[in-house]
Structure formats: structure tokens, C-alpha cells
A and B are shown apart, each in its own frame.
Chain A
């Protein structure tokens, strides 16, 4: 099915482990984003990408790494997970040149770091 999919939907890991959250979109949207959602903070931008091989930091990038070798994929890696990275992570995409710039979201990945 067309759309934006995230995996895994749920993940439990331990402090210090590396974790990668996957994001795949089938629309060929130019722009992709990673947000984290925490109660009281809403959604905060971690990283974003304007195209393949172009990425930039958002509001809360520390502790995260992204890559975008293909337009359709935008994985987010926590190189050494910490408890403060326990959160719900959302991937989103938008079409370059869109007047409205509407974001289309994945269903989120709930990550628990023990």
C-alpha cells in the first residue's frame, strides 16, 4: 500500500545499545522529517532531509544520527540509547513545491530504553 511506514512499531532496548528506527515512504516526497513526541513538549523536530544525501539538524538532534541514501528511506539511529530517549518517534514526509506543505505522518514508533 502507498504511504509512509515505520518499523518497528514498538521497541524495548537497554541503555547503551544502538537502535535504528526505519521509515519508508512510497510517494517520492522530497522532504522527510523525524519528530519525537513527549508529554508536555508536543512534537519536536530531531532531523530533517530535503532530498537524498541532504540532511539537517532540527531542535533536538543530540544523540541521533540520520542518513538518506535513497529518497524513500530515512532511518533514524540512536547510537547509544539513553533513558531520556524513551519516547514516541514519528516520521513524516511532504512534497517539495507543495503550496500547503502538508506533512504526512507514519504511525509512530514507541521506544522504551531501560
Chain B
């Protein structure tokens, strides 16, 4: 079974600074997807960024980028120019590739990292 580990229960950053959230995962598969979700106090789950394992290039979405190290099974999220609105719980998640069958779309989540942004 796949597992996802976020070893940082809490992180903090000063506004306008950069912070990196860590995530490691365990899988025997070669093709999969990785995600970072943001959960603000409203509880809404918001997709931040997605990475396909077959792509060597790291995904980037505006101020958010990832460092995907496939051999090390590491998938960290970098937030640049942090803003007060970035304060939230962040979840790393794993999904198998389109293997068909009834298990398609299942995400396995890490424990979450609470990010605090100081003004």
C-alpha cells in the first residue's frame, strides 16, 4: 500500500519570505500523480499544484513550485513571497496513474502541515 508522510506538523514563515514544506511517499509503482492541497480555516480543500511522475520538469503555479525527486520519493512544496492568505493546513497526496478499475481516483493523503504566516 502506498503511504505519504509529512514530517513537519507545523511551519511558520514571515510575510514575503519563502518556505518549503516536505513530503515523502512510498510506492512500488513508476507512474503516478502527486498533489498539494491547501485547507484554509474555511475547511475547503483547494488544489494548489499537481505533478505527473513521468514528467521530469517540476510543476509551477505562480508562487508555488515543487521539487520532485522521484528516486528519493520526495515531493516538497515551495511557497515564494508568502502572503497572509497562504496560512492554512497543507496536504500532500498521492494517486496511482489511470489503472482503470474501481480504484481509480483514490488519493492517499499525508498527515498535513499547518503553515502560519507572520506579518
Contact = CB atoms under 8 A, between A and B. Distances in A.
Interface of A: 31, 33, 35, 40-45, 48, 50, 54, 56, 58, 88, 90, 92, 94, 96-103, 105, 107-108
A28 to B, nearest CB: 15
B25 to A, nearest CB: 12
What is the predominant secondary structure among interface residues of chain A facing chain B? strand
20 contacts: A33-B105, A40-B9, A40-B111, A42-B109, A43-B107, A45-B107, A48-B103, A48-B106, A50-B104, A56-B103, A88-B43, A97-B98, A100-B33, A101-B33, A102-B35, A103-B45, A103-B47, A103-B105, A107-B44, A108-B43
B95 interface: yes
A43 B91 contact: yes
**What class of interface size applies to chain B in its complex with A?**
20 to 34
Given A43-B109, A45-B106, A102 B44 contact: no
Contacts of A50: 101-104
A96 B103 CA distance: 11
Interface string B38-54: 00001111010010000
B43 to A, nearest CB: 5
Q: Which 4 A-B pairs have the closest CB atoms?
A: A105-B45, A50-B102, A94-B105, A42-B109
Interface in B81-104: 91, 95, 98, 101-104
A96 B104 contact: yes
Nearest to A54: B102
B104 A42 contact: no
Given A40-B111, A97-B98, 7 more contacts: A42-B109, A45-B108, A48-B102, A48-B106, A50-B103, A96-B105, A101-B33
A44 B79 CA distance: 26
A58 B109 CA distance: 13
B87 to A, nearest CB: 17
B34 to A, nearest CB: 11
With most chain B CB atoms within 10 A of its CB, the pick from A35, A88, A100 is: A100
